[in-house]
Each structure stands twice: as C-alpha cells, then as structure tokens.
A and B are shown apart, each in its own frame.
Chain A
Amino acid sequence: MARLGKNLTTMDLSYISISDSANLLAGRELSSLELTRYALERIERVDPHVGAFLLPTPEVALQQAAAADERLARGLGGPLTGIPMALKDILSTDGIRTTCGSRILADYVPKYDATVVERLRAAGAVLLGKTNMDEFAMGSSTENSAFGPVHNPWDLTRVPGGSSGGSAAAVAAGETIYALGTDTGGSIRQPAALTGTVGLKPTYGRVSRYGLVAFASSLDQIGPLTRSVEDAAIVLGAIAGYDPRDSTALDAPVPDYTAALSAGVRELRLGVPREYLSEGLAPGVRDVFMQACRLYQDLGAKIDEVSLPYTEYALSTYYIISPAEAMANLARYDGVRYGLTVEGEDVWQMYAHTRDQGFGKEVKRRILLGTYALSSGYYDAYYLKAQRVRTLVRRDFEAAFERVDAILAPTSPTVAFRLGERVSNPLEMYLSDVYTVPINIAGICAISIPGGFSEDLPVGVQIVGKPLDEPAILRIAAAFERATPFHRQRPPLQVPV
C-alpha cells in the first residue's frame, strides 16, 4: 500500500471527506488521477463482496480525472473538481448504460445526461460508476435488483437498505467519496441509516428531476449520500437549483449550504412526534434515538413533543399514490423503442411477454396496485381518497412547524435486517418506511445521520425541516456530528486486502 501525500494512509484515503480531498488536490499533494485510481482499485477489491456497483466506469473516470487535474493545475478547480463519486443507476448518463436495476433496461444506453449529471460534470466530478438499486427504486433493501443484492458493509449477511442501497454501501465501504441516490419514500435516508452514512432528501422541487428515470413523479427527489454533513451540504449546493426542463423545479435561490453549519442548536426548538415512538420501533433503535434527543438538549436545544396525527395513514397514502404514478411511468417499457423485447404472436403479446420477463415481482406488484387504484370504479375510493389524506399529512407538518424549527425522528424502525428476511412479505417490507414516507408525502426535506449503534449495527437519526429549510436541518445535523464519534466509525469489512 503506497503512502500518498504527507501522513496519509490508504485507509485515510478510503474514508476521506470531500473537503479534505479538495484541500489535498488544491495543495497539489494529491492528484485526481491518484485519488481516482485508488478508488477504482478499492472497488475492485471490495465490491465483489459488497455488490454496490452495477457498472464501474474506469475509463470514463480516468479521463475525467485527467481533465480535472488540468483544470486544478490552472487554479480553476471548485469544491468538487477531481473528486470521485458514484451515481445510482436510475440517473440518465449519456453513453453509459443505465439499467434502473431492471432486466427490462439491462442494455439501455441513454443518449443524454440528467441535469444533475450535467451539473456534476461541469463541476469537474469524476464518475466511478453506476450503483446498484432496487428495481425502478421500488424497495427498501436493494434485494429487488435484477442483478443481485447489495451486502451491508457492516455485516455482509445483511441488507444495506434501499432503494439506494448501492450508493449507500459504496459510501459506507469507502469505495467512493460520495454518491447520489434518490428518495421517493425513504430510499436515501433509510439506507443511510442502515449503513451509518449521511443521506439527505431535499425539498420536493429543490433538485431537478430531468433525467431521473421516474418512479413516482410527485414524490421522487435526488440527493447526496456522504460520510459527513458538510459533504452533504457541498454536494447539495452543486446539484440544487432551478431547471427550465423540469416544470416542478422551484425557482428559488440556492444558498451556500456550508455557511451556517457551525451555528449550533442553542435555543432551537426541536419537535419529537409522539406517534413515531410506537410499537414498531425496535428497542435498541429507540434507545439510540432517546439518547440523541438528550444530547440535543445538552447542546442547548429545546425538545418538545409534537403530534402528527395522520402519521398512521401516511404509509397507505404512499402505497396508493406512488404505485399509481409508477404504473403510468412504467408503461413506456413495452419493447418498442428501447430495452428488452420478447416476441409474441402479435404486438399485445409482445408487450405482455416483454413486461412479464423484464419486470421483477415487486415492480409487477406495484404496477398492479397502481392500476387497480386508478381503474374505473376504484378511483374515488383509492386514488382520490389518498390525495385528500395527503393534504392532511401536509397540514400535520405545517401545524407542527408553527411550534418547532425542525422535527427529530428515528429513520428506520429497525437496524439492518438479514438478506432474505423480508422478501416474501411485502407488507412487512413496506413498514420499514413508516418514518420516512410522511416526509415525501408532504414534500418537505429531511436528513438521516449516524445516530449511534444497536447490536453493533448503525442506527440513523432523522432531522426533518420545513420546505426549503435545508440550511436548518444541516445545521442541526452538524451540531450532533460535532458532538459524537459515530460518523468516524468504520465498518469492519472483512475482505481480503
């Protein structure tokens, strides 16, 4: 193992932060090529055990690293220039295969970049590869990938969470410095919690969805997975902002998300929803959460109980609205213009065979659910009803935010469960999202940070904020991080070196 730069070990490099990398690169102590090569080698060694990557992109990475080095040499680098990252395989990348974890797109190569990809390119980011995920972002364990599951770096027999399991595991295992994931019902935050990383879901409309292969259009958002709160703030700053190509993107200025990270939490009012401390919450997770609340009090925040009475209905609302939108968003996969095609006696059979063979069980389940909820005779009772309850869930948060600046909550009711443990029971799997889904339904922002450990496995703590109040949740998260050691702990990762 080479020693790179002054006092750096390779272990340090595996878990280096964005800001430290940027400093090294700016000080010419390290080149992007070196940093990138290092990451690629680590992926080669570690990923056969973790399975985070569907497609490593070494050629592209080295090209981009070389270009970044040139830019850095001319003093034209920015906060992300030359720093390797990974993208969830649901983001359209020009000329680079994008599968969405599905057989139906196994050989699909897009001819355009998503807006967030364009922005990261422009910032000089280096793409290490596309990460594994639950098929079409439907799942909470990444076991629904058509290409094999991802193993949690903390315990390879367990799931990393989902649907952004690959991105989270890659960050947790030191395979990449940061990654982008997507969150529709918790798919950034829950894997972040299960892998001891930081995962942020921005306010709906904060980040452009152009080029994000749609699952549920009114819920999807792209966000960062990182090892520190500051890193999450840096990445958010690079990808957020108005995009005329997305009619749901907000035309609101993008602040410097790193500016107020050290402001602390003194005198801030933090709410704890009484409905979240329910039966489903595992005792170990509850303990970690309660301790986190006490720590916030020690740091000077005021903790108050709040009530979000419609919490128990948020999951049902989600499991009507998201499959309904997904049914429509996935109708385009019919074997005509791209993707898998399976012959039949006529076009209709071709559609049926293609989709039967191309989609996995979970995707089919949700398409069926969505089709049912929208079909003639059921629309009012299901879809319309869910839209109305959605309003009630939003109002819950609006009322709570009259009294508190942010809400503290657990992220996942349990720690990482074992691979195969919940696959045969969809309902049980859906219940993993109980604390994350309401945030997507309301369209507000939230971050999950390493909150502690239970049974030697990471436990996440969630900070939920008002629309466009990412600065507040980042500040509150940063305060916890400064006062705790959890984010510095590394998974044991028993892999041959």
Chain B
Amino acid sequence: MSEVSPVIGLEVHAQLLTRSKMFCGCAAKYFDAPPNSHVCAICAGMPGSLPVINRTAVHYTVSTALALNCTVETESKFDRKNYSYPDIPKGYQISQYDMPIGRNGWLDYRLDGQTLRCGITRVHLEEDTGKSLHTTVDGREVSLVDYNRSGVPLMEIVTEPQLSSPGAARQFFEALRQLLVYLGVSDGKLQEGSMRADVNVSLAPANGAPGTKVEIKNLNSFRSVERALAFELERQRESLANGKPIVQETRGWSEERGITISQRTKEYAHDYRYFPEPDLPPLIMTRALVDELEASLPELPAQRLDRLQNEYALSTYTARVLTGEKELSEFFEEVLRTAPELQPVTVANWVTGDLVRLSKDSARPVSESRISPASFGRLLLLVQSNAISGTAAKQVLEAMFETGEDPHVIVNRQDLGQIVEPTALKALVERVLDENPEMVADYRRGKINVDKALMGKIIASSKGKASPQLVTEILQRKLASDI
C-alpha cells in the first residue's frame, strides 16, 4: 500500500475595509443593514451604469501583496468573468484574470512550535456578489436576493498547494488573517463573512504524481477549514483504499453533519470567457507608488513579536499571545504609556491572563469591552501599591469589564481596600493565633501547611481585605518568635 500525502492549497477571499464599494459609492459596511439599502445603479447592474475603481481598494491590495512578499506587477488590469446567477447583477463579475496586482510571494506560519512557509501564487482584486436567502413564501420555495454585498471590494489570495495537513491549513489561515488585520485592510471577522476560504485538497502518491484535486467551497471559520479537510482527506483515503478513484469536483461542507457533500452538478460547465474590462483603463503601478505604500506599511505581526520581546523583555510565549490579536498588543502598550511605573511583565501577565479570559468568556473582543487601557493601568497600580490584593483585583477587573467604571469607584463600593496598617494586621494575626492554640501547637510540632491554614483563617477573618504579603510576614515573625 503506497504512501499518500496530503496536498492542500487555499483560496482566501477577504472583504476590504474601505468606506465605499469597489466600483461605486455605496457604503461597504453592510452587516446588519436592511436589505437592498446599500445599493445603487452600479452595484445593482442597472442598464447604462458604469464602474469606477476605488483607489483605496487598490492601495490596500498592493500593500497586502507587499506584506506577502509578492512582486507587484507594473501593469495590472480588470477582466470580465462571465457567468449567470441571480446574485451576479451584471451577469458578469469584474475581476482580474491574467494580470493580477501581485504574484509569487510567501507567508510564514507556526505549526507545532515550528515555523513553516507557504507560497502565495497571486493576490488580486474583484467585486463581491449579492446574497441569496432560501426560504418559503406562500408555499413557494424561493431565493430572496439582497445586493447590499454586491460590489464590496474583495481581495483574493491564492496559495501554492504547499500545506500538508488540516492543522497546517488552519494555522496558515490564522496567520493570514492576523496579517490582514495588522495591515488594517480587513477586520478579520470571519463570523460576519468578511473572510472566507475555499480549499483544494488531494492525496499525492509517493511516486510524485499529482493526486486528483477536490475543491471545498465557502468555509467561513478556522474550525470548519480544519474539520472539512480532515473529513475530506479521510474520505479520499478510504475511497482509494477501496480502489475507487477520486472524482475531480466541487464539494460543500456541512457543519452540522460534519461531512463534505458533492454539489449538484450545474447544468452548464463554467466557461468564464474572460476578456479585458472595456469600461476600465489599466492600472500602472509606478515605482513611486509602490515605494510609498511599502514605506507606509504598518508594523506587521512578525516585527511586533520581535519588538515586544526586545523592548519589554517578554517571553516569546507571552509576546506571541499579545501579538496574536493586534488589539491586545496595542492595549498592552497603551497601558504602559499611561502608567509607566508598572512592570511590563506584570502588565503582560494580567493582559494575557485575566483580561483575555474575561474576553473569551463573554465572547467580546477587548476593544469592545468597557475597560480603557488607562483604567486598567490604574487597577494594576492599586495592586502594585498594595492598596488591594491580587485576588481583590481580579474581582474589580470583572466588574470593570461589565461597567467600565474606574477601579477606585469599585474598590470603594465593594469595600475591597486592603488592610495594610501594621497595628491592625498584627491584631488580626494575634486574635486568630489566640483562637486556634491547637493549630499553633501543631505548627510547633512540625506539622506542615498549618501556617497556610492559619493564613487562610486570618484572611477570611478580615473578609479578604488583609494584605496577604504583609500578613505572611507578620505571621511568620510571630510563629518564629514564640518558639
């Protein structure tokens, strides 16, 4: 039985974060907008309408091509991709065929602690299509079409088939998303449809011959990319093991059933009959423009990872978590800017620990929580100055996440101020020791962890307000001195 190895390539479509659509002035952000409320003559394909290229969409695509180490072609143009579907208002999609904006790049990604590289075949620009919703109206099975999405600028990134496992495909896709968010060209919100992926997958026999490619379309989460690929590879392995050759086809992924399904073969094969778009003159990328865009590329994930480690002496692991989400690293740095007295490592630990946990639990990104970097900094300063204990701080943070209030307000309201006054603390310690002579005796006899139990009682007796650090000191002195 010969060895087969997976050969996977990705085709990612990312909606660009422009204000207006690719070829008209309708607002590009349509999520949650009422149906057909972001539509005009151009994106609805009304007779006589003409497209006009959105400059920012082109710049975003060039910047992406540069960040992906592509060659930016000097001359680029748009073409008509001709096919019919109710959500294609012109009966053709304006896309790029043989002269895309960028070619021949690469992107590194991490898999199981290693850095791997996947080639990028091309980066091009096109327009998105409308959306159909299948439903029943008066007993009729219908598709209801909304053109809000029609004409939104869509960047297509095609990789070389150099991903060797579902995990690799997932990690690559995550790295690509991260890059696009850092570039500011996409909001990375897969759940809102701003990025989607098609995958090509085949099993190549050991002799080097190519396997038969199957395409799986419209995967809109990292999880589905990984699961769909895993299922499909298994299906293909089984098929081959049973002597049944793989059919080259397009399949869809059903998240509920966890399987890929052959799509009903369309009656007519797609002959896109590409030809140069006569309504749009070509794009000439001057050296000056490319240089300008290259110079204004923002800090990319790899660069930020290095910088955070160097500038703040953070561990690679912590730096990775922080740079994993662009906004997280920005939050971190902003906290330090507002409160320079704090230790970077401390801030990093709080951000990557408690803050991230709260964010995950509430399914709200940090930028949408109500905590500002400044108030977060003030909270950490309270801990640093011993005004509140670490435990209390976690409580305060949770409240801040919900209400956005200043930490001082919450501390006062919940009476979480730490007791740090030595006399008061001494009295607390002495009272507990007095009330628990057997435990003290146990300690004297060498029983372990009694001091911890005593600590527990002391803290509890203070309703959690006694500073654990200072209590420990006092307790240890008392226990030691009375021997």
B44–A337 touching, CB < 8 Å: yes
Known: A114-B48, A332-B91, A376-B273. 13 other contacts (CB 8 A): A100-B47, A108-B47, A110-B46, A111-B46, A217-B278, A218-B278, A248-B281, A325-B275, A327-B273, A328-B80, A337-B89, A338-B47, A374-B275
B44 touches A245 (CB 8 A): no
One of A52-60, A208-216, A258-266 at the interface: A208-216
Selected from B45, B271, B279, the residue in CB contact (under 8 A) with A337 is B45
Confirm or deny: B267 has a beta carbon within 8 angstroms of a beta carbon on chain A. Answer: yes
Q: Could you list 16 A-B pairs, sorted by A, with CB under 8 Å?
A: A92-B46, A210-B48, A246-B50, A247-B51, A328-B90, A330-B91, A332-B45, A334-B84, A337-B44, A338-B47, A348-B267, A351-B84, A374-B273, A374-B275, A379-B273, A383-B275
Known contacts A331-B82, A332-B91, A334-B84; is-contact A247 B52 (Cβ 8 Å): yes
Does B53 belong to the interface (CB within 8 Å)?
A: yes
B145 close to A (CB within 8 Å): yes
A458 to chain B, nearest CB (A): 31
User: Does A229 touch B at the CB level, under 8 Å?
Assistant: no
A338 to B271, CA, bound (A): 26
Total contacting residues, chain A, CB less than 8 A = 45
Judged by a CB distance under 8 angstroms, whether B211 is at the interface is: no
Instruction: Decide yes or no whether B280 CB sits under 8 A from chain A.
Output: yes
Pairwise interchain contact A112-B82, C-beta atoms closer than 8 A = no
Q: How far is the CA of A92 from the CA of B49 in the complex (A)?
A: 9
Cα-based distance from A275 to B427 in the complex (angstroms) = 117
Closest beta carbon of chain B to A443's beta carbon, Å: 11
Q: How far is the CB of A119 from chain B (nearest CB, A)?
A: 15
Is A462's CB within 8 Å of the partner chain B? no
Chain B 16-55 interface 0/1 with A at a Cβ cutoff of 8 Å (1 = within)? 0000000000000000000000000100111111111100
In the assembled complex, which residues on chain B have CB atoms less than 8 Å from the CB atom of A328?
80, 82, 90-92, 273, 275
Residues facing A in B82-97 (CB within 8 A) are: 82, 84, 86, 89-92
Q: Does A9 interact with chain B (Cβ within 8 Å)? A: no
Question: Interface digits, A320-338 against B, CB 8 Å rule (1 contact, 0 not)?
Answer: 0000110110111110111
- Kindly provide the distance from the CB of A324 to the nearest chain B CB, expressed in whole angstroms: 6
Whether a CB of chain B sits under 8 angstroms from the CB of A98 is yes
A244 at the interface (CB under 8 A from B): yes
Question: What residues of chain A lie closer than 8 Å to B48, measured between beta carbons?
Answer: 91-92, 110, 114, 210-214
Indicate if the CB atoms of A376 and B271 lie closer than 8 Å.
Answer: yes
Contact in complex: B273, A325 (CB < 8 Å): no
A419 within 8 A of B: no
| Contact partners of B275 in chain A: CB under 8 A | 324-325, 328, 374, 379, 383
Q: Say whether B92 contacts A245, CB under 8 Å.
A: no
Write out the residue numbers on chain B whose beta carbons fall within 8 Å of the beta carbon of A337.
Answer: 44-46, 89
Residue of B nearest to A336 (CB): B86
CB distance from A375 to the nearest CB of B (A): 5
Chain B residues near A334 (CB-CB < 8 A): 84, 86, 91
- Give every chain B residue within 8 A of A100 (Cβ-Cβ): 47
CA distance A112 to B271 in the complex (A): 33
A347 near B: Cβ within 8 Å?
Answer: yes
Given contacts A325-B278, A332-B91, whether A98 and B47 have CB atoms under 8 Å apart is yes
Set of chain A residues within 8 Å of B86, measured between Cβ atoms: 334, 336, 347
**Contact residues in A for B281 (Cβ distance below 8 Å):** 247-248
Could you tell me which residues of chain A, from 231 to 283, have a CB within 8 Å of some CB in chain B?
A: 244-248
In the complex, what distance in Å separates the CA atom of A218 from the CA atom of B278?
6
Tell me the complex Cα distance, A371–B268, Å. 14
Q: In whole angstroms, how far apart are the Cα atoms of A282 and B91 in the complex? A: 42
Given A218-B278, A248-B281, A375-B271: A327 in contact with B47 (beta carbons within 8 A):
no
Determine whether A105 belongs to the interface, using a CB cutoff of 8 Å to chain B.
yes
